[in-house]
Amino acid sequence: MSAAVGELAGRTALVTGAGQGIGAAVTRALVDRGARVVAVDREADGIKRLADDVPDGRVLARELDVTVASAVDALVDDVERTVGPLDILVNVAGVLRPAPVVELTDADWAETFAVNTTGVFHTSRAAARRMGERRAGCIVTVGSNAAGVPRSSMAAYAASKAAATMFTKCLGLELARSQVRCNVVSPGSTDTAMQRQLWGEDAESSARRVIEGDPSAYRVGIPLGRIAEPADIAEAVVFLVSDRARHITMHDLYVDGGATLRA
């Protein structure tokens, strides 16, 4: 890791969903590599704590609802004007509304797609317009391994992540000649508030069931025998936005301990 310290020095990043979990971990990892990060979330508390914890003003906290296109465009304009050209965008903002399809409400379906898919479209479009003109930049969307494997009671989430994944790949194809790279990181079960939302009161038992698998839900376990930490996902993101990945675009990197048994 020591060889990677400072590799993002001088670069400006925007991270959505930065108030907790994977978004906060991505923000810290980018800062550790020298980047300056605009951390956005629609809840102010988490990003304010994050900005206070990181010295030297390396994290700038900004409230943003990614579902509102005009707000996204205004924020990106402001960042470019007051902070600097945007070099990196990491789409992490996401919501989970678990329910069987026959019980899934219209509101939960719409909210899931508004954040997980349309939000990615809004931020990526705003960033791509500027990155394409400059012929430089990286976009990473944090998806999910659920985008490639059916999950009970997660149809809206899985479908929204699958759509965001394919959108990011299509964007990567369109921007490739401009030397702007677009990739996806797809976590499996990760120890976040969203993951724990799926667990019962006995967290230890729930975690063990995730690791060992659940035949009743047609779900395999995690071959590596552990649930990911947010930092595991952040390290994959940092790699893909770094020059070490300069010839990688339209890639979907699964970080799930082998849970999907991908070929």
Q: Which of 121, 157, 167, 254 is catalytic?
A: 157
Q: Is 218 a catalytic residue?
A: no
Written as one string, the DSSP assignment of the chain is -GGGTTTTTT-EEEESSTTSHHHHHHHHHHHHTT-EEEEEESSHHHHHHHHHHSGGG-EEEEE--TT-HHHHHHHHHHHHHHT----EEEE---------GGG--HHHHHHHHIIIIIHHHHHHHHHHHHHHHHT--EEEEE--GGGTS--TT-HHHHHHHHHHHHHHHHHHHHHGGGT-EEEEEEE-SBSSHHHHHTS-S-HHHHHHHHHH-BGGGTB---TTSSPBPHHHHHHHHHHHHSGGGTT--S-EEEESTTTT---
Catalytically active residues are 157
